[in-house]
């Protein structure tokens, strides 16, 4: 069981940082080695009776389409965090202090549990990548991504993009452009606060409908060097 789990753990990119979710104490503890700084947990299923513990030496953590309980509270210097999940995947995460997170990459799938918390608490973030995995772009992605050079999709990895979209139905309620526009205004509002506008240097917004009002807000990001927006149209 342990060997199987470790076979699915690979060194990689990003890290996670939150402390709101209570994890049951009566679980077996599976502690990852402390000599590694970067880790990717991709499609990892942690058993219900097990707690996966990420130790203090980790700096970059990615959790991609995984489920189960994870404890990151020991991490002392979390720098990068990536969280791609679907609302169908049960996941519980206990986070450390988030003030050192410089790069945040997160998906919104209709469940704002972690999405809002991370946007609010990663106060010193410099790079933000926002994915709407419940979006109106199913047809566009299925039809056109194969013709777009990978360099133009940065920071996306195309296989992750297709994996997320393939899990959603093309008849999803998100087909309404108004819903996507409303989602961006409501869910992404924390990035428009003064601290975020002052700190963020790289911002990518993927598959959200945005309005001209949002575009005006983006003009106020005084440190912004790179802005990437992928959407079918902009609500005027």
User: Taking the domains of the chain in order of start, what are their residue ranges?
Assistant: 1-103, 126-236
182: confidence class by pLDDT, cuts 50, 70, 90: low
How much is the pTM? 0.73
C-beta of residue 74 within 8 angstroms of C-beta of residue 56: yes
pLDDT at 183 over 90: no
Q: What is the average pLDDT across 208-232?
A: 85
C-beta of residue 224 within 8 angstroms of C-beta of residue 125: no
C-beta of residue 39 within 8 angstroms of C-beta of residue 58: yes
The tens digit of pLDDT for each residue in 89-145 reads 789 999 999 999 999 999 887 567 788 899 999 999 999 998 877 654 454 555 554
Given this model, what pLDDT does residue 158 score?
Answer: 57
pLDDT at 34 over 90: no
Q: What is the average pLDDT across 155-165?
A: 56
Q: Which residues contact 93 (CB under 8 A, 6 or more apart)?
A: 16, 18, 21, 63, 69, 70, 71, 72, 114
Averaged pLDDT score across all residues of the chain: 74
Q: What is the average pLDDT across 73-96?
A: 90
Given this model, what pLDDT does residue 26 score?
Answer: 73
pLDDT at 213 over 70: yes
Given this model, what pLDDT does residue 110 score?
Answer: 59
Given this model, what pLDDT does residue 164 score?
Answer: 57
pLDDT at 70 over 70: yes
pLDDT at 13 over 70: no
């Amino acid at each position: 069981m342990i060997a199987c789990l470790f076979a699915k753990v690979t060194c990689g990119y990003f890290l996670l940082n939150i402390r709101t979710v209570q994890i049951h104490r009566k679980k077996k503890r599976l502690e990852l080695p402390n000599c590694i700084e970067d880790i990717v947990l991709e499609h990892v299923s942690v058993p219900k009776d097990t707690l996966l513990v990420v130790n203090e030496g980790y700096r970059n953590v990615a959790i991609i389409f995984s489920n189960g309980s994870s404890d990151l509270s020991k991490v002392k210097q979390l720098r990068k965090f990536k969280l791609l999940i679907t609302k169908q995947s049960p996941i519980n995460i206990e986070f450390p202090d988030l003030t050192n997170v410089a790069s945040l990459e997160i998906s919104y799938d209709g469940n704002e549990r972690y999405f809002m918390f991370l946007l609010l608490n990663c106060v010193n973030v410099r790079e933000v990548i926002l994915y709407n995995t419940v979006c109106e772009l199913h047809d566009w992605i299925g039809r056109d991504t194969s013709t777009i050079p990978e360099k133009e999709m940065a920071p996306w990895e195309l296989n992750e993009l297709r994996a997320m979209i393939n899990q959603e139905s093309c008849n999803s309620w998100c087909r309404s452009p108004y819903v996507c526009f409303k989602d961006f205004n409501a869910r992404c509002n924390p990035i428009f606060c003064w601290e975020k506008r002052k700190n963020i240097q790289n911002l990518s917004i993927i598959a959200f409908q945005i309005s001209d009002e949002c575009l005006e807000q983006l003009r106020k990001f005084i440190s912004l060097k790179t802005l990437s927006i992928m959407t079918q149209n902009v609500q005027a």
